[in-house]
Amino acid sequence: MARRGRDARARRSGRAPARRGRRARDRPAGQCGRRVHHRAGQGHRADQRRADPINAALAGEAIRALGQGLPTVASHAEDIDGRDRTLYGAYLAAVSFASAGSAMHHKICHVLGGTFDLPHAPTHATVLPYVLAFNMSHAPEAAGRIAAAFGSSTALEGLQQLRRVLDAPQRLSDLGFTAEGIPEAVEIALAAIPTDNPRPVTRENLSELLTAALNGDDPHTLVSATGATEGDPS
């Protein structure tokens, strides 16, 4: 009653009544998710990633939990422990993503979904190993953390093993993408990928990445042997 009285007096005086902010737990989860993805979609080539030790640790734990939980759910959908691990990993991944911001993989998938109407989740699942292979030799510490989280010898090996277990999609061509769309996708994505991507991104190597993902080629063909000494993007 007291607050209602204060609001009424404020309206009569021409002042807007004070409003209490909504607590995060009161906001619909979908609303929060849309905000995160909207902000990520506003990026341009001048964006810089916001990676730090905290979101890196969260990402590593997310990979570990998802690597354990997803295969269990895939084979036994009602398994409570598998569901718990998967939801735990998904939550940590979302927190890490919201903190660090989107980078090359997400920017490419935004272009493929927004411009060519490819389905969201299968597109991300298809492109991910190619971006990992593209960047891993230029980000050895991150690649080492990913490998450790998977319990594998390399980051790419761990991801590919998980993808085999889950029967993940293999080719963008299966999702409706064609070679004719690659030049347009490259032009749009180049303007969105952060300039501090671990490996310099050019029209040529981005075209190679999308071609490999289109055809389902072995992602290992994209691993750079030159590491951090590769030249600047043109």
Q: How far apart are CA 10 and CA 14, in angstroms?
A: 6
Q: How far apart are CA 192 and CA 232, in angstroms?
A: 17
Looking at the domain assignment, is residue 188 inside a domain? yes
Q: How far apart are CA 36 and CA 50, in angstroms?
A: 14
The answer on 96 and 111 residing in a single domain is no
Q: pLDDT tens digits, residue range 157-200? A: 999 999 999 999 999 999 999 999 999 999 999 999 999 999 99
3-state SS, residue 8: helix
What sections of 136-170 are H helices per DSSP? 140-150, 155-166
Looking at the domain assignment, is residue 210 inside a domain? yes
State how many domains the chain has: 2
For residue 17, the number of C-alpha atoms closer than 13 Å in the C-beta half-sphere is: 13
The answer on 201 and 96 residing in a single domain is no
The answer on 169 and 90 residing in a single domain is no
Question: What is the per-residue DSSP string for 35-59?
Answer: HHHHHHHT--TT------HHHHHHH
The answer on 130 and 61 residing in a single domain is no
Looking at the domain assignment, is residue 111 inside a domain? yes
Domain span including residue 72: 49-101
Quote the pLDDT of residue 224. Answer: 86
The answer on 192 and 76 residing in a single domain is no
The answer on 164 and 116 residing in a single domain is yes
Residues 152/157/111/97 CA torsion (nearest 10 deg)? 0
Look-up: residue for tokens 């061509």? 173
CA distances in angstroms from 174 to 66, 131, 137, 140, 197, listed in the order given: 25, 19, 29, 32, 28
The answer on 195 and 121 residing in a single domain is yes
The answer on 55 and 165 residing in a single domain is no
The answer on 179 and 126 residing in a single domain is yes
Quote the pLDDT of residue 141. Answer: 95
Residues 108/33/63/211 CA torsion (nearest 10 deg)? -10
Q: pLDDT tens digits, residue range 101-114? A: 999 999 999 999 99
Looking at the domain assignment, is residue 208 inside a domain? yes
pTM beyond cutoff 0.85: no
Q: pLDDT tens digits, residue range 54-83? A: 999 999 999 999 999 999 999 999 999 999
The answer on 131 and 80 residing in a single domain is no
Looking at the domain assignment, is residue 131 inside a domain? yes
The answer on 223 and 130 residing in a single domain is yes
Looking at the domain assignment, is residue 202 inside a domain? yes
Q: What is the CATH number of the domain that holds 199?
A: 1.20.1090.10
Residue 205 class from Cβ within 10 Å (0-12 exposed, 13-18 middle, 19+ buried)? Answer: middle
The answer on 92 and 126 residing in a single domain is no
Q: Which of 63, 85, 101 is the last residue of a domain?
A: 101
